[in-house]
Amino acid sequence: MTALLAAEGVGIGFGRLTAVADASLTLGAGETLGLVGESGSGKSSLAKALIGLVPLRAGRVLIEGRDIAGLDRAGRLGLRRRAQIVLQDAAASLSPRFTVARLIAEPLRIHGMAQARMAPLVERLGLAALLARYPHELSGGQAKRVALARALVLEPKLLVADEPTAGLDISVQGEMLNLLARLRERLGLGLLLVSHDLAVIRRVSDRIAVLYLGRIVETGPTRAVFRQPAHPYSAGLIASTPVIDPERRQRRRALDGELPSPFAPPPGCAFHPRCPQARELCRRVTPTPAVVGEDRAASCHFPLTEA
Amino acid sequence: MSLLDLDGVTLDYLGRNGTVRALDRVCLTLGRGRILGLVGESGSGKSSLALAIMGLLPPGTARLGGRMTLDGADLSERAGACRGRSLAMVFQDPMSALNPVFTLGSQLVDAQRARFPGAPRRVLLERARAMLGRTGIAEPERRLRAYPHELSGGSRQRVLIAMALLCEPDLLIADEPVTALDVTIAAQIMALFEELRDGLAGSMIFISHSLALVSRLCDEVAVLYAGTLVETAPTSTLFAAPRHPYTRALIACETDEGSGRLPVIPGTVPSLAGPAAACVFAPRCPLCADRCRAEAPLLRDLGGGQRAACHFA
């Protein structure tokens, strides 16, 4: 079966900055892939490149088996129908001069589709009362729902959601995530969820990909990775995520050091200066993804779990 | 005797379109050497409360009622005189809290002037160097000559924590000190707070939207909702036996790890225009009854240091 989305050796750069190097991943229809990383890890660049919003320096991206590079105008229009994105700053992605109704109708107009298509979506996302409003009259959560409606009104196969819960209070985060999960089920969406928040990724993703300094360091089923991370960075990230622990039972094992500058990444494994178990080999040789379990891969010379 | 005493603190912001009640009759005490976690969602009034204690509310547009005392002395008029002496604060955004045109050394010295008037610069600089080392800054000697832009966000927050501690404040307020930081850096700063907690001479208020963060650090927790203090208890009691429905819902939102539907608190935080005649949480509360819509519950003592503002607690 052809994967809905397949990235093969994707490289992205801006000037002398290498934002993403050698990234490969796949996403099936109806599946949720969580892309997790800290700021500067390249997750937003990769997310945008996967639907053709950022040019590639290397590799290729296939959506439903078709290469998205070098498409003509009609091809790009067709791609937009199949693959949509909700940007991180949803409020800023909405034109301040359009009402909510016009914002949601705009993609339909561009694609020459019937305006009637938006009614059920407006209903489902609870936007009926907001149709006459302008973006500045929306709360953060409402703006996110409008951006989501705009993306979904074309009934895409693939939805990329960049930090869909960032800036939302914890009591409404669940609402947004439940909504995404419901829509995924009902529409058979492939969902690429980008977040720095492991708690969010853990709740809704089938599989996760962990990014560090522009490289995917680990991929695998969410549950397996959380139970026993293979890459020391994944382990450090998971251990750094705060949990309710009033008796202080868990020992804190925070990672030392900080994210190095992506302009001058360390030689060998980019994680070695912060890695608690780095050895000589790690300083010289960049590790490549190796199988570390069923449907799991990690780019580490000395993974914490063996295949 | 308690260090900080808040008695019926009410805060109104006066705007062109009417008055917004940011805090409604908040009563709270904090003992010496204790760490209080102040938890709430955006708009709950937690930062307003911090600014009120620090005397940093905007003049003219903020109207403060009730009584605040620090060490028995009324704070409402002397907060300004207390800042940098008995009161210090660490802010959320370390990128904008330092002056970009002065070296860290000179800012760390200036921050101590009010507390140690007349002390020679050499002494204050040496104190600064030692404190930077304690807060985990590598090569503190060299860093004293550095400018803020030369430091990462995590390091700047360490500098700001050092700056606050150099004043040896009776009360340190940390307002979301790790929210702007990356996950692994936030964990480092939380580890620093945990290290410092036993050496802390004064008391601390740690403000956060995350129950997980306060759960490990704080001795007691106060939960704010829409300007109202809905529950306060010793940390272990609050997590073992939360009594207010909002506290319970918040804990559920942060602990759920199973798949399937996530816990949600239906509805949104109410508008804060004008004082409320009903329980502030009533529109979103699963237990809401007629009484809740007619009468605002008072914060009731439930024993064991726990108090909750709910008719059904």
The CA distance from A232 to A253, in Å, is: 12
The CA distance from A260 to B184, in Å, is: 13
CA dihedral B153, B154, B160, B165 (to 10 degrees): 180
In the prediction, which pLDDT does A182 show?
A: 86
Tell me which residue of B95, B97, B88 sits closest to B180, measured CA to CA: B95
Which pLDDT band, with edges at 50, 70 and 90, does B53 fall under? very high
How do residues A32-88 score in pLDDT, each as one tens digit? 999 999 888 999 999 999 999 999 999 999 999 999 998 899 999 999 999 999 998
The CA distance from A149 to A165, in Å, is: 16
Would you say A201 and A36 are in contact if contact means Cβ atoms under 8 Å apart? yes
Chain centroid to Cα B99, Å, comes to 23
The CA distance from A106 to A112, in Å, is: 10
In the prediction, which pLDDT does B98 show?
A: 95
Give Cα separations from A52 to A83, A85, A89 (angstroms). 9, 11, 19
In the prediction, which pLDDT does A255 show?
A: 87
Size of interface A-B (CB pairs under 8 A): 104
In this structure, the answer to whether residues A197 and A228 fall within a common structural domain is no
Tell me which residue of A244, A196, A220 sits closest to A293, measured CA to CA: A220
Would you say A138 and A130 are in contact if contact means Cβ atoms under 8 Å apart? yes
Across chain B, mean pLDDT equals 91
Across chain A, mean pLDDT equals 91
Show the 3-state SS of chain A: CCCCEEEEEEEEEECCEEEEEEEEEEECCCCEEEEECCCCCCHHHHHHHHCCCCCCCEEEEEECCEECCCCCHHHHHHHHHHEEEECCCCHHHCCCCCCHHHHHHHHHHHCCCCHHHHHHHHHHCCCHHHCCCCHHHCCHHHHHHHHHHHHHCCCCCEEEEECCCCCCCHHHHHHHHHHHHHHHHHHCCEEEEEECCHHHHHHHCCEEEEEECCEEEEEEEHHHHHHCCCCHHHHHHHHHCCCCCCCCCCCCCCCCCCCCCCCCCCCCCCCHHHCCCCCHHHHHCCCCCEEEECCEEECCCCCCCCC
For helices B153-166 and B104-113, angle between their N-to-C axes, nearest 10 degrees:
30
Comparing CB atoms, the residue among B186, B188, B253 nearest residue A174 is B253
Exposed e or buried b for every residue in A64-90, given b needs 16+ CB within 10 A?
A: beeebeeeeeeeeeebbebbbbbbbeb
pLDDT for residue B276 is more than 70: no
Last residue of a domain, one of A179, A205, A231: A205
Residue B280 is given by DSSP the state T
Last residue of a domain, one of A171, A205, A239: A205
- Answer whether residue A39 is part of any domain: yes
In this structure, the answer to whether residues A34 and A167 fall within a common structural domain is yes
β-pair partners for A50: none
Interface check B216 vs A, CB under 8 A: yes
In the prediction, which pLDDT does B269 show?
A: 72
Last residue of a domain, one of A147, A174, A205: A205
- Answer whether residue A254 is part of any domain: yes
In the prediction, which pLDDT does A222 show?
A: 95
In this structure, the answer to whether residues A143 and A238 fall within a common structural domain is no
Tell me which residue of A209, A218, A203, A192 sits closest to A31, measured CA to CA: A192
| Number of C-beta neighbours around residue A303 at 10 A | 22
Interface check A202 vs B, CB under 8 A: yes
Q: Provide the shortest C-alpha distance from residue B174 to chain A (in Å).
A: 17
| Number of C-beta neighbours around residue B39 at 10 A | 26
In this structure, the answer to whether residues A42 and A175 fall within a common structural domain is yes
In this structure, the answer to whether residues A44 and A180 fall within a common structural domain is yes
DSSP characters for B16-63?
A: TTEEEEEEEEEEEEE-TT-EEEEE--TTSSHHHHHHHHHT-SPTTTEE
Chain centroid to Cα A293, Å, comes to 23
In this structure, the answer to whether residues A83 and A177 fall within a common structural domain is yes
In the prediction, which pLDDT does A306 show?
A: 65
In this structure, the answer to whether residues A179 and A44 fall within a common structural domain is yes
Interface check B198 vs A, CB under 8 A: no
How do residues B190-241 score in pLDDT, each as one tens digit? 999 988 888 888 999 999 999 999 999 999 999 999 999 999 999 999 999 9
Q: Is B8 strand, coil or helix? A: strand
A242 vs B212: CB contact, 8 Å cut-off? yes
Q: Is B175 strand, coil or helix? A: strand
Query: What is the ipTM metric for this complex?
Result: 0.85
For chain B, which residues make up each domain, given as ranges? 4-86+169-308
Residue B85 is given by DSSP the state T
The CA distance from A164 to A89, in Å, is: 9
pLDDT in tens, chain A (307 residues): 689 999 999 999 999 999 999 999 999 999 999 999 988 899 999 999 999 999 999 999 999 999 999 889 999 999 999 999 999 888 899 999 999 999 999 999 999 999 998 998 898 888 999 999 999 999 888 899 999 999 999 999 999 999 988 888 887 788 888 888 888 888 889 999 999 988 889 888 999 999 999 999 999 999 999 999 999 999 999 999 888 988 887 776 778 888 888 888 999 999 999 999 999 999 999 999 999 999 999 999 999 986 5
B264 vs A38: CB contact, 8 Å cut-off? no
- Segment (H or E) for B90: strand B87-90
In the prediction, which pLDDT does A1 show?
A: 62
In this structure, the answer to whether residues A122 and A182 fall within a common structural domain is yes
In the prediction, which pLDDT does A281 show?
A: 96
How do residues B5-49 score in pLDDT, each as one tens digit? 999 999 999 988 888 899 999 999 999 999 999 999 888 999 999
B236 vs A240: CB contact, 8 Å cut-off? no
Q: Model's pTM, two decimal places?
A: 0.89
CATH topology for B4-86+169-308 is Rossmann fold (3.40.50)
Would you say A167 and A25 are in contact if contact means Cβ atoms under 8 Å apart? no
- Answer whether residue A249 is part of any domain: yes
Q: Provide the shortest C-alpha distance from residue A111 to chain B (in Å).
A: 34
Cβ partners under 8 Å of residue B271, min gap 6? none
Comparing CB atoms, the residue among B191, B254, B265 nearest residue A252 is B191
Nearest chain A residue to B240 by CA distance is A246
Would you say B180 and B189 are in contact if contact means Cβ atoms under 8 Å apart? no
In the prediction, which pLDDT does A307 show?
A: 59
In this structure, the answer to whether residues A282 and A169 fall within a common structural domain is no
Lowest mean pLDDT among A116-120, A257-261, B71-75, B89-93: A257-261
The CA distance from B293 to B279, in Å, is: 6
pLDDT for residue B256 is more than 70: no
In the prediction, which pLDDT does B67 show?
A: 95
In this structure, the answer to whether residues A166 and A234 fall within a common structural domain is no
| Number of C-beta neighbours around residue B305 at 10 A | 12
In the prediction, which pLDDT does A169 show?
A: 83
Cβ partners under 8 Å of residue B81, min gap 6? none
Lowest mean pLDDT among A52-66, B58-72, B85-99, B246-260: B246-260
Instruction: Give the amino acid at B156.
Output: R
How do residues B280-304 score in pLDDT, each as one tens digit? 999 889 999 999 989 989 999 999 9
The CA distance from B257 to A134, in Å, is: 37
Q: Are strands B228-234 and B307-308 parallel, antiparallel or unpaired?
A: antiparallel
In the prediction, which pLDDT does A113 show?
A: 92
Give Cα separations from A172 to A61, A167, A168, B263 (angstroms). 34, 10, 6, 9
Question: How many residues appear in chain B?
Answer: 313
Comparing CB atoms, the residue among A202, A247, A255 nearest residue B184 is A255
In the prediction, which pLDDT does A126 show?
A: 85
Cβ partners under 8 Å of residue B135, min gap 6? B158, B159, B161, B162, B165, B192, B196
In this structure, the answer to whether residues A146 and A238 fall within a common structural domain is no
In this structure, the answer to whether residues A111 and A245 fall within a common structural domain is no
Burial class (CB in 10 A: 0-12, 13-18, 19+), A221: middle
B263 vs A198: CB contact, 8 Å cut-off? no
Domain around A126: 30-48+73-205
| Number of C-beta neighbours around residue B248 at 10 A | 17
pLDDT for residue B259 is more than 80: no
Tell me which residue of B118, B192, B130, B126 sits closest to B155, measured CA to CA: B192
Q: How many domains does chain A have?
A: 2
In the prediction, which pLDDT does B275 show?
A: 52
Contacting residues of B for A199, CB less than 8 Å apart: 254
Interface check A211 vs B, CB under 8 A: no
- Answer whether residue A138 is part of any domain: yes
Exposed e or buried b for every residue in B191-229, given b needs 16+ CB within 10 A?
A: bbbeebbeebebbbbbbbbbbbbbbbbbbbbbbbbbbbb
B250 vs A171: CB contact, 8 Å cut-off? yes
Calculate ∠ Cα A137-A143-A144, nearest 5°.
Answer: 170
Interface check A239 vs B, CB under 8 A: yes
In the prediction, which pLDDT does B236 show?
A: 95
For helices A232-240 and B183-197, angle between their N-to-C axes, nearest 10 degrees:
50
B271 versus A156: which is more confidently predicted?
A156
Nearest chain B residue to A261 by CA distance is B152
The CA distance from B133 to B130, in Å, is: 5
In the prediction, which pLDDT does A183 show?
A: 85
Contacting residues of B for A178, CB less than 8 Å apart: 261-262, 264
Interface check B271 vs A, CB under 8 A: no
Q: What is the CATH number of the domain that holds A177?
A: 3.40.50.300
Comparing CB atoms, the residue among A173, A178, A252 nearest residue B261 is A178
